[in-house]
Amino acid sequence: MPKWKIYTPDGVQDILFDECYIKKNIEAELRELFRRCGYFEIETPILEFFDTFTVDEESTPQESMFKFFDQQGRILVLRPDLTIPVARVAASKLKDAQYPLRISYIGNTFRYNESGGGRQKEFTQAGIELLGEVTPESDAEVISIAVNAVKTCGLNDFQIDIGHVGFFKGLMEEAGLCEQDMAQMRILIERKDFIGIEEIISKRDISSHIKKLIFNMPRLSGGIDVIDRVRKILKGPKTLEALDYLEELLKILEDYGLNDYVSIDLGMVQSLNYYTGIIFRGFTHGVGFPILSGGRYDNLIEKFGLRLPATGFSLGVNLVMNALERQQKCMDKPHVDSLIYYEKEGRKVAFEICRQLRAQGLVIQMDITMAGKERVKAYARSMGIGGIIGVLDEDLIEIHNLETNEIKRVSRSELLK
């Protein structure tokens, strides 16, 4: 009857020793980085009301969420995202906070429709949100922390692309495209579907220089020169404002010393209802998806009742781990430094030695099989433990080097030196 009892559901998985060790180390280092940057962590529930996530149907459509009911019949979801819960908290429990407010989180999120390649239905996101400021300096701070977060994880070869939703919106206005065309154009540009783009603009009455620019939008990426090139063609206030902002942002990032990691991509147009200003995504080798994404979302918190500008990013921890593996980065693995076995006469001393060695930072396992020296040795060898310690009585301690098969007798004080 219980035929599924030894399986896990599709899209979730067990994370075992080596992988778990690496993952927790990454999380610990990210947490440390966020703290040093003055971002303090909050935890929000894994369960939320469905209503909370209806504020952004574009990036969390209802079919992407795990749903069920509470005892009163209200719809609950497993959180598909962590920015929205942060926005909810900011507008409610933190509404009297001092701004700018800096928040960080590390937690698991859940989504259907996630395809594989390292993307599971349950995945860990680590990120920050900076609330209450509209300056380019705040966006630059968030991007600089994003760069450092990726580096902290051990990835050096990566790129962060920055765009601005105001550029696309402004350009569509200048072209005079209707809402529906605009929605379709967004998808086409996002997919870099030149064929589809051409189809739409060729049918519309748009001045030729704007036509050319729209057609080339998916290709408008690179350094600061891209901005200069485009600025010569455009006249609209919205597009120019977006370009000025991006230029200022790039200059700040240059002073952060991050030139090598960031570039402009004006063809980036995801989640236009959610983001209101700059948007960015991070890519690296070995993973086909963006490992991080972020941007400015000045209208989101207002949907929870507080007008508050905000900017932030989140990093996919599982994707980063995939990248580390594919790029064959050497990562720390769990290991045991030594194993202690004892005769009854030495038990108390054995526990004391164990306590002191652990306090010195060593990883020590105690023998609990009481099956004798040979069994302990065999176990230790199979675990890759280099040496074991035998406490025969209060004064007689043997150190077995399992690599050279040498046995050394020492006193307690010699051992703990």
Partner 1 sequence: MNYINIALPKGRLGDKAVELFEAIGIDCEEIKNSSRKLIFTDEKNMIRLFLVKPTDVPTYVEYGAADIGIAGRDTLLEEGRNLYEILNLRYGNCKMVLAGPAELKDKFDKLANKRVATKYPRIAREYFEHRRKESVEIIKLNGSVELAPLVGLSELIVDLVESGRTLKENNLVIYDVIEDISARLVVNRASMKMKSERIQWIIDELRKNIDMQIGSQY
Instruction: Rule CB under 8 A: say whether 337 interacts with partner 1.
Output: no
Instruction: Rule CB under 8 A: say whether 328 interacts with partner 1.
Output: no
Instruction: Rule CB under 8 A: say whether 284 interacts with partner 1.
Output: yes
Interface with partner 1 (CB under 8 A), residue from 212, 285, 347, 375: 285
Looking at the chain, how many residues does it have? 417
Q: Which helix (H) or strand (E) is 337 found in, with range?
A: none
Instruction: Rule CB under 8 A: say whether 193 interacts with partner 1.
Output: yes
DSSP string for 156-212: -SEEEEEEEHHHHHHHHHHHT--HHHHHHHHHHHHTT-HHHHHHHHHHS---HHHHH
Instruction: Rule CB under 8 A: say whether 288 interacts with partner 1.
Output: yes
Instruction: Rule CB under 8 A: say whether 161 interacts with partner 1.
Output: yes
The CB density around residue 175, as the number of other CB atoms within 10 Å, is: 21
Give the interface segment with partner 1, choosing from 36-44, 165-173, 286-294, 362-370 (CB under 8 A): 286-294
Q: Which helix (H) or strand (E) is 333 found in, with range?
A: none
The owner of tokens 């069920």 is 68
Which residue lies nearer to partner 1 by CB, 117 or 372? 117
Instruction: Rule CB under 8 A: say whether 262 interacts with partner 1.
Output: no
The CB density around residue 194, as the number of other CB atoms within 10 Å, is: 15
Interface with partner 1 (CB under 8 A), residue from 194, 215, 256, 351: 194
Which residue lies nearer to partner 1 by CB, 161 or 367? 161
Instruction: Rule CB under 8 A: say whether 286 interacts with partner 1.
Output: yes
Instruction: Rule CB under 8 A: say whether 271 interacts with partner 1.
Output: no
Which residue lies nearer to partner 1 by CB, 130 or 155? 155
Please list, residue by residue across 62-94, b when 16 or more beta carbons sit within 10 angstroms of its beta carbon and e when fewer do.
eebbeeeeeeeeeebbbbbbbbbbbbbbbbeeb
Instruction: Rule CB under 8 A: say whether 152 interacts with partner 1.
Output: no
β-strand partners of 128: 104, 313
First-to-final CA distance of the chain: 59
Give the interface segment with partner 1, choosing from 9-17, 114-122, 229-237, 353-361 (CB under 8 A): 114-122
Positions in the binding site for partner 1 (CB under 8 A): 115-117, 157, 159, 161, 191-196, 218, 283-290
